[in-house]
Amino acid sequence: MMTDEQLLRYSRHILLPDLDVEGQQLLLNSKVLIVGMGGLGCPVALYLAASGVGELHLVDDDTVELSNLQRQIAHGQSDIGRPKVESVADSVSAINPDVELVLMPSRLAGQALKDAVASVDVVVDASDNFSTRFALNEACVKARRPLISGAAIRGEAQLSVFDFRRPDSPCYRCLYHDEGNDSALNCAESGVLAPIVGMMGCMQALETLKCLAGIGETLVGRVLFIDGISMDIRQLQLRRDPACPVCRLRETV
């Protein structure tokens, strides 16, 4: 049951017919794992906190550097040298002190990754390398947790939702059949236009809210591509790959 203060804080959500009080209560009761506290993860965390998601699990083993401040909006000049999860936690609490926070200043792998995924309702992939993306995808498949996957580099970005509660949903491995080259996703090597990660992080937050509250139509079975330079936006239909080695796991779990 929401307090008077919560009813006021979330009043603009509650006015939405698709969300209303019931949907907002679902958000308050939800837990989300965000992997990566960089250009994508910062706006994801801030908007989920502002929206009233009850518990956020923040994962990153890195510390804030000066070059991060060009795009990672939850960090400030005084945060340089601090663990990113602590910096983001402070920014989240400044927006909404009611949000419960679980900080994980380490790189999740193995059983720790499986446990972290299984302990939440939705997982947001805001990482910057293929190895983490593939590991998260497999953990989400096994735990049947929705995965909100976003990426941005240079002036381009992409977004998709893999919802393993649905038997027709493809997985990240259906989209990328091999682990590729991590340098292709490296901002330090390729550069990135600052607002494009903000756009993508906000869209990841939106897809997360839709998954949690069960509203609207998520990007399951579709990949959204954005070229920020030309502002060309297009979609690709994506179906389950019958030969996908990860999707086969869904038949045995």
103-145: pLDDT as tens digits: 999 999 999 999 999 999 999 999 989 999 999 999 999 999 9
Q: pLDDT band for position 177 (50/70/90)?
A: confident
Q: pLDDT band for position 36 (50/70/90)?
A: very high
Amino acid 179: pLDDT:
63
Judged by DSSP in three states, 183 sits in helix
Percent of the chain's residues with pLDDT above 70: 96
Alpha-carbon span 105 to 125, nearest angstrom: 16
Alpha-carbon span 9 to 13, nearest angstrom: 9
As a whole number, mean pLDDT of residues 77-93 equals: 98
Examine the pLDDT at 97 and tell me if it is beyond 90: yes
Percent of the chain's residues with pLDDT above 90: 88
Amino acid 250: pLDDT:
75
Does residue 253 or residue 226 have the better pLDDT?
226
The pTM for the full model equals 0.95
H runs (alpha helix) in 96-226: 110-118, 130-143, 172-175, 187-190, 194-213
As a whole number, mean pLDDT of residues 67-83 equals: 98
| Architecture label for domain 10-251 | 3-Layer(aba) Sandwich (3.40)
Q: pLDDT band for position 178 (50/70/90)?
A: confident
As a whole number, mean pLDDT of residues 182-211 equals: 87
- Measured N-to-C along each axis, helices 84-95 and 41-51 cross at an angle, to the nearest 10 degrees, of 30
Alpha-carbon span 147 to 139, nearest angstrom: 10
What are the strands of the beta sheet with 31-35, ordered from one edge? 100-104, 55-59, 31-35, 122-125, 147-153, 156-162, 222-227, 232-237
Amino acid 181: pLDDT:
58
CB 226 within 8 A of CB 156: yes
Amino acid 253: pLDDT:
53
Residue type, 92: V
Amino acid 252: pLDDT:
60
Residue whose pair of structure tokens reads 């190895």 in the numeric block: 131
